[in-house]
Amino acid sequence: MHVEDVVAFIVDFIAEPRPASAYSSFGYEIYVPNIIATYLTEVEPTSAHWSTVRDSQRARELMPTFSEAVWDLCRRGILRPGVRTISGQGDGGTGHGYVVTALGRDWINKGSLTPLLFDQSQLSRLFDTLSKRLGRGFQQRATEAATCHALGCYLACCAMCGAAAESIVLAVAIAKNGDEDAVLKAYFAAQGRKRTIDAVTHGAHASIAEPFRAATSLLSYWRDESAHGRASDISEIEAHTALGRLVRFAQFASDNWSELTAN
């Protein structure tokens, strides 16, 4: 079982509380043993009574993964540890109780929790794999874009998506040209980005060249919009879109590497 799967279940549990969630929650709004028991009764059906399931061996096996998932939601600002009010009853300091934050509640009310399901660790693994061709510069910038998105730093996320897209362009151009110094010199000259993209797509079939150009122009927009000193209205939606398109661009470049880098 992966942490990202548990995060998805907990997000659904927060948005749509189950009747069983009222069972011995102490002064908490979210009580991990109750979530685990709900998961077991919904996903791994059993004939045992709900309270028995909560204290089962399987529940104890799942506790570390669920605990890590709720802490991830704390790190993202959706939950906070502790009781709801100053007079709330704790469960003896086990660390299993949490409350939905004002930010988390606002996102729930807006129905915008789905973008949270870009799992940082899952994206990092994907970027690690793609970096074997696209390079360490791409890996660093793409991973930081995912981290910024997870932490709610949406302007920074878009800036790093644009930077990671530039790393893709440079990686392909260097592989095609064979001279890194010459490619970098050309890229940082006047009209360098356009000239480099033209060089990469030159000779490629239209079915490869046009999607590559479209991806670079879109992600260049995010880089330009976020890198200037003006105040920006970039929000969660734009950041989510930028990160998703970066993933597709990276996969496209990797899948079509041979044709893009052919002389």
Give the residue among 177, 138, 140 at the shortest CA–CA distance from 263. 177
Clarify whether residues 102 and 223 are in a common domain: no
What is the DSSP secondary structure assignment for residue 84, as one 8-state letter?
S
Last residue of a domain, one of 113, 134, 156: 113
Which pLDDT score is estimated for 7?
84
Which pLDDT score is estimated for 118?
54
Which pLDDT score is estimated for 22?
46
Give phi and psi for 108, each to the nearest 5: -65, -45
CATH code for position 194: 1.20.120.330
The residue type of 213 is: R
Which pLDDT score is estimated for 258?
94
The gap between the terminal CA atoms of the chain, to the nearest Å, is 45
Last residue of a domain, one of 113, 139, 174: 113
Clarify whether residues 67 and 122 are in a common domain: no
Clarify whether residues 145 and 68 are in a common domain: no
pLDDT in tens, the chain (263 residues): 778 788 888 888 888 877 754 456 778 888 898 898 888 888 876 666 666 777 788 888 999 999 999 988 888 788 998 887 776 676 666 778 899 998 888 777 766 555 455 556 678 888 999 999 999 999 999 999 988 887 778 888 888 999 999 999 999 999 999 999 999 999 999 999 999 999 999 989 999 999 999 988 877 777 777 766 777 777 777 888 888 899 999 999 999 999 999 97
Give the residue among 14, 13, 78, 80 at the shortest CA–CA distance from 40. 13
DSSP strands (E only) in the chain:
30-31, 79-81, 97-100
Task: Give the pLDDT confidence of 7-36 residue by residue, as tens digits.
Answer: 888 888 888 877 754 456 778 888 898 898
Clarify whether residues 250 and 123 are in a common domain: yes
Clarify whether residues 89 and 138 are in a common domain: no
Which pLDDT score is estimated for 134?
95
Which pLDDT score is estimated for 27?
80
8 A C-beta contact, residue 201 and residue 168? no
Task: Give the pLDDT confidence of 136-177 residue by residue, as tens digits.
Answer: 999 999 999 988 887 778 888 888 999 999 999 999 999 999
Clarify whether residues 15 and 99 are in a common domain: yes
CATH code for position 23: 1.10.10
Clarify whether residues 50 and 172 are in a common domain: no
Which pLDDT score is estimated for 50?
63
What is the rounded distance in angstroms from the CA atom of residue 227 to the CA atom of residue 221? 10
Clarify whether residues 160 and 197 are in a common domain: yes
Clarify whether residues 94 and 123 are in a common domain: no
What is the rounded distance in angstroms from the CA atom of residue 79 to the CA atom of residue 102? 9
Last residue of a domain, one of 79, 113, 147: 113
- Largest pairwise CA distance in the chain: 72
Number of domains in the chain: 2
Clarify whether residues 172 and 208 are in a common domain: yes
The residue type of 235 is: S
Q: What range does the domain containing 238 cover?
A: 118-260
Q: Kindly state the tokens that stand for 17.
A: 């509380």
Clarify whether residues 245 and 133 are in a common domain: yes
